[in-house]
Every structure is written in structure tokens, then in C-alpha cells.
Amino acid sequence: MSTNSPSGFRTEPWRVLIFYIAAALVFSMLIFRLFNLQVLEGGNWLVSAEDNYTREISVPSSRGIIYDRNGVILARNVASYNVVITPAYLPDDQADIERVYRELSEIIAVPVNSGTVDDAKLFAACVPGPGIAQLVELGDSLAPYTPVPVSCDVDEKTARIVRERSVGWPGVSMQIDPIRDYPTGSLTANIIGFLGPIPATQVDLYEELGFVAGRDKIGYAGVESTLQDILAGTNGKRVIEVDVAGQELRNLEAPIEPVAGRNVRLSIDVRLQRAAEGVLLNEIEGWNAYFGQVRISSGVTIAMNPKTGEILAMVSYPTYENNRFARFIPAYYYQQLSEDSRNPLLNNAISSEYPPGSVFKLSTATGALNEGVVTVDQTIYAPGQLILTEKFSPNDPGRERPFVDWIYDEQPEGFGEINFLRCIAFSSNVCFYKLGGGYEDEIPEGLGILRLGEYARALGYGEPSGIELPGETDGLIPSPQWKRINQGENWSTGDTYIASVGQGYVLATPLQVLMSGATIANDGGLMQPTVVREELDDEGRLLKPFEPHLKWDITETPLITNFDCDGGYCIEMETKSAVDPFVVEQVQTGMRLAVTDTLHGTLNKIFGDFPIAVAGKTGTAEYCDDVALAANRCTFGNWPTHSWTLAYAPFEDPEIVIMAFMYNGGEGASVAGPVVGRVMEAYFELKAIDLAEGGGN
């Protein structure tokens, strides 16, 4: 019997080839992957590796302090005490941890347990809701060596207790953060403003500037907003090495120290500010008590040096308490302010527009005399009522429309024959109707709306002043083109009449009214109004001294030739190259006569016996806004009126100009006049005190 045995195991050559090819592909892929990781993407992975152990810490800067002109602090930084727990430093024993939580809870009034960790994720730091245990557990899962705030802004007594007992509470400590404090509160809130968190829409912008969203705050209103770049300073930086748990090991780079913000000294005199606020509120409350209802709902008073443009006081009522926004912005309080129809969050001195009434006649008077519409000695007949044939186009046959003077009810015959100076002193409406729009053969051609607009703008109307406060509006100086676009009809002679006395479509801010009076008081020089006086470093050294800025001088700066165009057709109304100094002098004389004339001088009762020579102008402006309409008060011949008064002193060498406005106040001389008078008294009393003490700015 024969046996066949196998000659040995054999593998097909093609199988071996496939194996080698597969092995080669695998090794090729590994080599390519290694090459990609090590060479092509090596830099990215190196950066990621460095990020794992590198932390860049922003060191907050100190915000600049805000002072008034005499060094009184208006905004500063104070300490806010926060109770924090560092999870990594807590005791190892859970029972000890719970004891720490329990004892701490009794002092800071935050529950030990409340909700879940997931709930804690929905709350910002220190917002009531999560318990201590949940906050710490969340922090431990994220960064155990990062302090977790469990109670913010505790009082100093609680802070001392926690600091003393933290010796027996491992992981518990006090963290001190600076917060903004406003010692003068609501008195200066509309000037100073407040801080708030960086808005989500501006995070990228501010992060590029080195700010940290969620920690750093920026100005939201007042000079805190407009002077943000000056006050904020520059954050510092530390680059450190940390371990996997986030514990700090060492500095990797030399620390960059923060640069403190610069301090600012404002032009405001807080003593005069307080006096002005007291006078304004006392007058408002007195009249409201007299009428048995809240008739005057808001008001403004401003004092300025006409030679330098420095705002010495700026009171806007109602206002708000900016200290309530220092730590966070309470939603309920902000909503309450936002829904108040009186707009307390707005600085009504610059952000609200009203018909200026007769204080606007300074523009008409300046333009009419300068353009030769009237002469100083010319007699103008001012009856109690003027009948005008009002026309909307040259071919319009017109319709008769009565225009009455303010004295008509008590003296129907009006003022009779008066000259230019008494037109100003008596504030005769009929006289200014004629000066603005002309009347028959007596004044064949009045100033006209286009030339009137140029003189009004020359005195500061019609555009923002540029003061260092946010939210300033530009007012309105209407023109025929404006009316066609916005009202859908032609300009009429009656429109010019009404605009000439600061009514109709004319609107102005209280600051613009003040600027017009200041320009006349300053012999035609319109100074840039300002609330900022000087910049200082953190040690009080002067960095930027105050320099008054002349915007223009109406006696030197040429007025602009005005064009009013519609559909390719333009009307040119050329004005004089500048205002003759004689014209300004005569307008000043008319304003002085408003004080000295005992018969019809509108300010004689207020300043007739004042020991210092005063000049001024009053205004009573009819209006019909949403509030008046809702109250059904907009009836022809019986519209409600705002109260205005403007005055400056000393007449020969002015150093103070004061304006008062009372919403729905009534007659200017009776309501706003006393406010200006008492603020004027306060100013000169403070000046006498400063001179006696050998100081003052």
C-alpha cells in the first residue's frame, strides 16, 4: 500500500501581492497622517496645546473720577464686596463642606440648596435663585480654581464677618470689585449719566479695544457716555500658565499694568445746580398747588457764562436716580422711567423741542434791523389786533385772518405807536408780525422766512450745539420747501407772521434759546457751549486746560445766501454779509428796556429793583402736542402755553445768562421769570461768598 503526503503549504502569489499592497496603503495613510499632523497642521496643534496651559487674564483699569468746577466729586469708584467660593480649596470631607455652606448661608441669606445645577446655568452670577451648593458645583465642573460669586454687593458689616470667619471656612473669601457711585445722585443725573453692560451688538467692537464683555461697563448716558474714551482707561494683561484643573502656576510674560482713566473737571457748579433745582421745583410745586392739579409737569433751567460757553447749571425736571443703575439696571425701574410721559430719562434741556415763543423775537429783531426792514427811530403802529389778507401764492386772492397781540384781552387797542426798542421791551406780537412778514405800505417788505431762518441759525437755532452730552436734537427752522414736503401745501404770509414770533412750525431746545440770548449778550460772539472744563491725570495734575471756543461771531462771519428750491425752481434770498455791531447793541438796549420800562417792560417786576443791571426777554408760547390733544385743550384762541424767560447780567459786562422753561406754565414773565430771578440771585450770592473767601472759579 502506498501513501501520498502533501509537499507543503502554498499561497497563491496574487494573495501575497494584495497583502503587501494593503499593508503599504495602511502605512502610507499613517505616514501621511503623521506628516499632516506634524508638519502641515503642526502650528495649529501647537497653538492648541499652548492654549491648554495658557490663560490670558484682563486686569481691569480704574475709571476716571468726575468733579464739578470747584472739586466736588460727582462720580467716583467705591468698593463692592462679593462673597466667593473657590471649589478647589473646599475641605475634602463632604460633611465639612456642608457645614461651611450652612454657616455661610445664615450670614449672607442665600439658601444652601435651591434648584439644580442645570437651573444655575440659566442665571447670571449673584442673581437670586440658585443655592450655594448648585453654584459651586457648576463652578467646580467648569474651572475649580476660579472663584464662584455666591453673594454680591454685601454690606461692609457682612463683609467683615465673612472675612473674619473665612479662616475656618476653607475656600471662602471676599472679592472686592469697584462700582460707580454718584454722590450728587439725581441732582446731576442728566449731566453725569450712568454705566451699563456692553450691549451684545457692540461686544466685538469693545473686545477689540481690550474690554471684557460681562465684566466691564461703558457709559450709557451723560458725560459717562460721551467721555467714555477719556474716563475708561486701558485694561492691563497677564499671561499665565495653568494646570489641567485651572490652577495658576506662573507668569509666562511680563504683566502689562492697567492704565487708569483720566479724571474730568466739569464746568458745573454743583452749588448753583442745587439752588437752580430747588428754585425750579419750588416754583412748579407752588403753581400746581395754586391750580389744585399737576398743571406744570416738567421744566428746565440753565445757567451759562456767555463769554466762555461754560454751563454752570443745567437742571432738567423730572430726572432719575442714577445710583440705582450703579450695580445693575433694574428692569422694573427702567420700565417705570420709560413709560413716564414726562420722559425723565431724557435731558429736556437738549433732547426736547418746543415752540420758543417770544424769546425767538431776538432773531427777528436782529434780522429786521440789520436788513433795513426797520430803523431804530421808526414808529410802528401796534394795534391789539391785525387783520391780514393771507395768501398762499401770488395769484391767490387771499382770505382775511386776524392776528392778535398778547395784550389784547386787557388792552384791546394794543400798544399803539411804538419804536423798535419798545417792540422788544413790550414784546409786541403785532410789531413783530409786521417786521417778519411786512404789512401794506407801513412795512412794504418784511424780513421774510428765508432771511429770518438765516438770522435764527446765526444765533444758534436749527442745529445741535455740539455740547458734550448725548441725544441732542436740532430743533426746526421751517422754510417753504420744508412745508411743501412735510405739510403738502405752500407757504403763506400768515406762516411768516407766526414764525416771526417763534410759533407755528418753529421748534427749539432750551439750550438753543439760551445760546441765542448768550450771543446777543456777548456782542455777537456765539461760544461753544460746554460742560467739560479740564482733564486731569489720576494724581490730579492738569492734562488739558480749559480753552473757550468761539463758534462764530455774527458781526464778522458772513451769513449764508439762502436758496429754497422746489421742482427745479429756486428762490434766492440774499442776506447781509454780517450783522452790524450797532444792531446787536440796539437789541441789547431793547432787552434792557424790558427791565427798566415801568409801564410795559415784561421783566420790570422781576428785575426792576435788582441791585445789578439785568437785560432779558420773556416768552409765552402756544402749543398743541399729544398731551394737549388728549386733554382736549387745543381749541382755537385758547391753546395752552409754555413759559419762557431769558436774562443776563451785568448788562454792561455780562458774566451769566440764565434761561428757564416751564412746560404748560402759562405766561413767561409770571411763571418762568421768578425762576430766572432767584437763580440770578443765587449766582451773585455764591460769587460774593467766593470773593470773600478768596477763591472761586
Please compute the mean of the pLDDT values over residues 14-34 and round it to a whole number. Answer: 79
> How many domains are contained in the chain?
2
| Whether residue 62 has pLDDT greater than 80 | yes
Q: How far apart are CA 638 and CA 635, in angstroms?
A: 5
What grid cell was written down for 159?
463683609
The four Cα atoms 525, 531, 532, 538 give a dihedral, to 10 degrees, of 160
Beta-carbon contacts of 238 under 8 Å, excluding residues fewer than 6 positions away, are 56, 57, 59, 251, 253, 255, 256
User: Of 41-45, 123-127, 189-193, which range is least confident?
Assistant: 41-45
Flag whether 264 is in a domain: no
| Whether residue 436 has pLDDT greater than 90 | yes
pLDDT given for residue 15 in this prediction: 72
pLDDT given for residue 568 in this prediction: 43
pLDDT given for residue 189 in this prediction: 97
Where residue 197 falls among pLDDT bands split at 50, 70, 90? very high
Q: Which among 181, 205, 235 is the end of a domain? A: 181
Q: Give how far Cα 363 sits from Cα of 305, 423, 631, Å.
A: 20, 13, 33
Q: How far apart are CA 289 and CA 301, in angstroms?
A: 21
pLDDT given for residue 381 in this prediction: 96
Would you say 173 and 305 are in contact if contact means Cβ atoms under 8 Å apart?
Answer: no
Flag whether 671 is in a domain: yes
Of residues 40 and 318, which shows the higher confidence score? 318
| Residue 236: exposure state from Cβ atoms within 10 A (0-12, 13-18, ≥19) | middle
CATH number for the domain spanning 533: value is: 3.40.710.10
pLDDT given for residue 153 in this prediction: 85
pLDDT given for residue 563 in this prediction: 52
Please compute the mean of the pLDDT values over residues 600-605 and round it to a whole number. Answer: 94
- Which structural domain range is residue 395 located in? 270-693
Percent of the chain with pLDDT over 90: 62
Where residue 567 falls among pLDDT bands split at 50, 70, 90? very low
Flag whether 504 is in a domain: yes
pLDDT given for residue 127 in this prediction: 76
What backbone phi and psi angles, to 5 degrees, belong to 514?
-60, -45
50 Cα distance to chain centroid? 45
pLDDT given for residue 419 in this prediction: 96
Over residues 638-688, the pLDDT tens digits come to 788 999 999 999 999 999 999 999 999 999 999 999 999 999 999 999 999
Q: How far apart are CA 218 and CA 221, in angstroms?
A: 9
Q: How far apart are CA 282 and CA 678, in angstroms?
A: 11
Task: Examine the domain organization and report whether 282 and 146 are in the same domain.
Answer: no
Task: Examine the domain organization and report whether 479 and 381 are in the same domain.
Answer: yes
pLDDT given for residue 53 in this prediction: 62
Flag whether 68 is in a domain: no
| Whether residue 636 has pLDDT greater than 90 | no
Task: Examine the domain organization and report whether 275 and 420 are in the same domain.
Answer: yes
Task: Examine the domain organization and report whether 144 and 279 are in the same domain.
Answer: no
Q: How far apart are CA 642 and CA 622, in angstroms?
A: 6
Task: Examine the domain organization and report whether 341 and 439 are in the same domain.
Answer: yes
Would you say 649 and 619 are in contact if contact means Cβ atoms under 8 Å apart?
Answer: no
| Whether residue 1 has pLDDT greater than 50 | no
Of residues 43 and 253, which shows the higher confidence score? 253
Over residues 495-507, the pLDDT tens digits come to 999 999 999 999 9
Over residues 412-427, the pLDDT tens digits come to 999 999 999 999 999 9
Where residue 575 falls among pLDDT bands split at 50, 70, 90? low
Task: Examine the domain organization and report whether 507 and 653 are in the same domain.
Answer: yes
Would you say 197 and 80 are in contact if contact means Cβ atoms under 8 Å apart?
Answer: no
pLDDT given for residue 424 in this prediction: 97
pLDDT given for residue 395 in this prediction: 83
Task: Examine the domain organization and report whether 171 and 290 are in the same domain.
Answer: no
Task: Examine the domain organization and report whether 274 and 145 are in the same domain.
Answer: no
Q: Which residue in the block uniquely carries the three cell numbers 441759525?
A: 457
Task: Examine the domain organization and report whether 411 and 538 are in the same domain.
Answer: yes
487 Cα distance to chain centroid? 31
Strand partners, 508: 354
Flag whether 25 is in a domain: no
| Whether residue 523 has pLDDT greater than 90 | yes
Q: How far apart are CA 509 and CA 348, in angstroms?
A: 8
Q: Which among 181, 210, 228 is the end of a domain? A: 181
Over residues 94-144, the pLDDT tens digits come to 999 999 999 999 999 899 988 788 877 777 677 778 888 998 898 888 888
Task: Examine the domain organization and report whether 275 and 146 are in the same domain.
Answer: no
Q: Which among 166, 181, 196 is the end of a domain? A: 181
pTM: 0.87
The 3-state secondary structure of 454-518, one letter per residue: HHHHHCCCCCCCCCCCCCCCCCECCCHHHHHHHCCCCCCHHHHHHHHCCCCCCEECHHHHHHHHH
Q: What is the DSSP letter of 209?
A: T
| Whether residue 242 has pLDDT greater than 70 | no
Flag whether 14 is in a domain: no
Where residue 695 falls among pLDDT bands split at 50, 70, 90? low
Task: Examine the domain organization and report whether 445 and 348 are in the same domain.
Answer: yes
pLDDT given for residue 569 in this prediction: 44
Flag whether 117 is in a domain: yes
Task: Examine the domain organization and report whether 173 and 283 are in the same domain.
Answer: no
Q: Give how far Cα 502 sits from Cα of 345, 361, 400, 579, 583, Å.
A: 27, 7, 22, 20, 20
User: Of 17-31, 351-365, 591-605, which range is least confident?
Assistant: 17-31
Please compute the mean of the pLDDT values over residues 381-401 and round it to a whole number. Answer: 88
Over residues 323-377, the pLDDT tens digits come to 999 877 888 898 999 888 889 999 999 999 999 999 999 999 999 999 999 999 9
Q: What mean pLDDT is reported for the chain?
A: 89
| Whether residue 2 has pLDDT greater than 50 | no
Flag whether 523 is in a domain: yes
